[in-house]
Structure 1
Amino acid sequence: MRPAAAAAASVLDQAASSATNILVLVIAARVSTAPGFAAFSMVYLTFTVLLGLNMAYVGQAVVLERDAARLGTACRSAVTFTACAAATAAVLLAAGGALAGGRTGHAFAALGLVLPLVLVQDGLRYAFSALRTPARALAADTLRLACVVPALLIQPPHAGPARLVAVWGLSALPALLLGLALLRPLIRGAGVHLAPYLRRGHLGARFLVEFAVGNASSQLAVLGLGLFANPLTVGALRGATTLFGPLNVLFNSVNAFAPPVLSRLGGRRRTVRAAAALGLALAATALAWAAVLYALPDRAGRGLLGATWNAAAALLPASGTQYAVMGLGTCALVTLRVLSPRATLSVQVVFSLLSVVLMLGGYGLGGAAGAAWGLAVGSALKAVAAWTRVARTPADAPADEAADDATGDDAQRSAAPRS
């Protein structure tokens, strides 16, 4: 496959995946009550964390496989390990949800029943990426989008969260079967080696740590608010985040494609200037999008998010501010990956945990709105810290060499924007 065609297929596949996530949440919000969507959001947030953990531990390791002779075995092993890990997590979720009972417990039990389907289906894209056949991933993910949207749209008003979770999960079956059929001829005759995933020092462990502190920490904190404080807070935060879904696509694209572009610019000054201009453009886009959402009539907003609109609309100023500073912070972290790739982990650890503290503190002071403003302040502090680290990089930093060094540590880290 030609490089240009492969790049186009990768972008389209990412767009299809992002559109699926956005539409699932939008449709679930429209057909649910506010408490029902809050329960669905907690389950979907749990799936998002599990998906990110698998992406970090399995997906990022397999896409870095460079030995052509071992590529088929690596891909088959990655899919098999994902299936085994998903089945283990599914048993725990199903048992825990059944014991907890109630609307939320049943929704988690439903997630346990469908988790292997959705996790393996999504994980196939990393095998296709490693095998340099992104068009096959695009075909499977497009089918996934084509199945899940009508399946959710035909659900009756006020459908329960457990039912929505089950329908969402089972609708992945056609895409899973297509993906496995497309993968089979590429890995025919390959073996399965699961031992490397269980050994100390597995490459994915480093990616797992960075994901845990950079993304999962805040997501788990939001989930904790829903489980131990007010579930409606999760629905409001997820509703507001869903409205900014198109910006997530932009941030993901910057994470994926900006490093090689910036590394080709040569000197540090040109790299920093280009990244700063891109960051300002993303921030301006986020503010403009927030203004559009804020100006939406309530009728149009309820058409998007149903009963969750009022709670989500109250968070738009905070969420818009957060996405604006996230645009600046994303470009700063991308610049560090080019100039000084080892500097990103410390920034992620310290300021992601600080964001969690600020979110929880904000919730204690002002409920959901306080939590949203806490996340915005945390993202702003992370952006300031990242740009400060950029400013302190040596003036003669060899951007191209640093970028080469980053490929082993930071390549393919684009599953979600840093917040």
Structure 2
Amino acid sequence: MRRAAAVAASVLDQAASSLTNIAVLVIAARTSSADGFAAFSMVYIVFTVLLGLSAAYVGQSVVLEKGEEHEVGAAARSAVTFTAAASAAAGVLLLAAGAVIGGAAGLAVLALGAVLPVVLVQDGLRYAFSALRQPHRALAADLLRLAGAVPALLLQPHGSSPARLVLVWGLSALPAALLGLALLYPFVRNRPGTPRRYLRKGHLGRRFAVEFAVGNASSQLAVLALGLLASPLVVGALRGATTLFGPLNTLLTSVNAFGPPLLGRAGSRRATVRAAALLAAVLALVALGWAAVLYALPDHVGRQLLGATWQSAAELLPATGSQYAVMAAGTCALVTLRVLRPRATLSVQVVFSLLSVALMLGGGYLLGGAVGVAWGLAAGSALKAVAAWTRVARTRPQPTTPRQDGQRSTAPSS
């Protein structure tokens, strides 16, 4: 494919995937009671964490593969095979956990365990197609995913249990997964993969997984802990508010995906930083504008979007909007660091993500409940953005040398 067509297909694919996630949460909120959506949100957080770990450990490393077509095809086959095996193992653990938990929550966890291999393999195919430079094939599968999930959930009666919604959502991914595998087959046929490569010492995905765990999963797991130990309604309110910012998630994900190569071609270090700062300012203004639009929505429109969850989610919109504004600035700074010095991001993520969790739990929930949690997350994101841009100002470019098996070597940090 031509570069412009490939970029367009990749952006549309990301948009289709994000739209599916937004639609799933909106329909689940409208279909459920506030308590039911809170339970669904807690299970969805577990899925989101597992999805992020899979993308970090497997997806982000396979897209770095270079070489002849047969070599990349073998790497793509390895990635999909490993994802299938790892997700099946994780599914078994979830089935066991669901049986132990019991009740409605246990049934929802059981449902997630049953469908986990389908949804993770379907999402993992996107990275295989990206490595093969076939984003239009990923787009075809993800459009089918969207076309399957939305009608399936819309057909569910009001008041459906969280377990039923999880099961329907997961099984609706099966046609897209089968289509994706069929589209992938010509590129991996007669090209045996080596899934064990993902268990080798030094696999770059381990670093990506650690960075995801401290940068994203830590806050999500902290929210999940609040739901388990304090009030599940807090989880529902937070998930409802963040769902409304789904378009911003799409933009930030696109920045992570396409920002490094575009900034890398900016030329000098000054030009790279200037372009990143301009992008950060634009995205922050977009986030604040979107927050203002949402805050101005009449209550009856909000209830059409989120059902019974709207009332609690609406109280969090100022804090969540502020969080997305500073997240935009922080994301652009971290992307810039990946261009100038790839290994410089981990320390920022570790320190300030843990600080965000402390602010969310200690200063947030204890002082202000759900609203306090949202402002704690915003404060943590703001501090991370300041730290990342400070690191950008002090960092000089560091050359990287491609290595085999999706690894890169860098000169020692000073």
Residue from 369, 384, 388 that aligns with 1:382: 384
Q: TM-score scaled to structure 1, two decimals?
A: 0.93
1:6 lines up with 2:6 in the alignment? yes
Structure 1 residue 333: deviation in Å? 1.3
The aligned counterpart of 1:221 is: 222
The aligned counterpart of 1:367 is: 369
Contact 1:213 1:353 survives alignment (8 Å): yes
Instruction: State the AA in 1 paired with 2:44.
Output: Y
Instruction: State the AA in 1 paired with 2:285.
Output: A
Q: Following the alignment from structure 1 to structure 2, what is the Cα–Cα distance between the partners of residues 73 and 405? A: 18
Structure-2 change in CA distance of 1:130 and 1:183 (3 Å)? same
Contact 1:347 1:386 survives alignment (8 Å): yes
Instruction: State the AA in 2 paired with 1:59.
Output: G
Structure 1 residue 113: deviation in Å? 0.8
Contact 1:73 1:192 survives alignment (8 Å): yes
Among all aligned residue pairs of Structure 1 and Structure 2, give the percentage whose two residues are the same amino acid: 73
The aligned counterpart of 1:332 is: 333
Structure 1 residue 203: deviation in Å? 2.0
The aligned counterpart of 1:50 is: 50
Structure-2 change in CA distance of 1:60 and 1:122 (3 Å)? same
The aligned counterpart of 1:66 is: 66
The aligned counterpart of 2:197 is: 196
Structure 1 residue 274: deviation in Å? 1.9
Instruction: State the AA in 2 paired with 1:312.
Output: A
Aligned-partner SS, 2:178: helix
Once the two structures are overlaid, the 10-residue window that deviates more, 52-61 or 288-297, is 52-61
Ranges of 4+ aligned residues in structure 1 off by more than 4 Å: 401-410
1:123 lines up with 2:124 in the alignment? yes
The aligned counterpart of 1:78 is: 79
Q: Following the alignment from structure 2 to structure 1, what is the Cα–Cα distance between the partners of residues 357 and 119? A: 28
The aligned counterpart of 2:137 is: 136
The aligned counterpart of 1:310 is: 311
Once the two structures are overlaid, the 10-residue window that deviates more, 112-121 or 65-74, is 65-74
Task: Give structure 2 stretches of 5+ with no counterpart.
Answer: 410-414
The C-alpha deviation readout for 1:201-236, integer Å capped at 9, x for no partner, is 222111111111111111111111112221111101
Structure-2 change in CA distance of 1:108 and 1:178 (3 Å)? same
Structure 1 residue 403: deviation in Å? 7.4
Once the two structures are overlaid, the 10-residue window that deviates more, 43-52 or 62-71, is 62-71
Structure 1 residue 409: deviation in Å? 5.7
Structure 1 residue 383: deviation in Å? 0.7
Q: Following the alignment from structure 1 to structure 2, what is the Cα–Cα distance between the partners of residues 386 and 408? A: 24
Structure 1 residue 282: deviation in Å? 0.9
1:100 lines up with 2:96 in the alignment? no
CA RMSD of aligned residues (A): 1.7
Q: Following the alignment from structure 2 to structure 1, what is the Cα–Cα distance between the partners of residues 402 and 383? A: 27
Counterparts of 1:395-414 in structure 2, within 5 Å, are: 397-398=396-397, 402=399
Counterparts of 1:105-184 in structure 2, within 5 Å, are: 105-184=106-185
Task: Give structure 1 stretches of 5+ with no counterpart.
Answer: 411-419
The aligned counterpart of 2:41 is: 41
Aligned-partner SS, 2:191: coil
Q: Following the alignment from structure 2 to structure 1, what is the Cα–Cα distance between the partners of residues 247 and 400? A: 28
Structure 1 residue 322: deviation in Å? 0.4
Instruction: State the AA in 2 paired with 1:320.
Output: G
Structure-2 change in CA distance of 1:270 and 1:193 (3 Å)? closer
Instruction: State the AA in 2 paired with 1:5.
Output: A
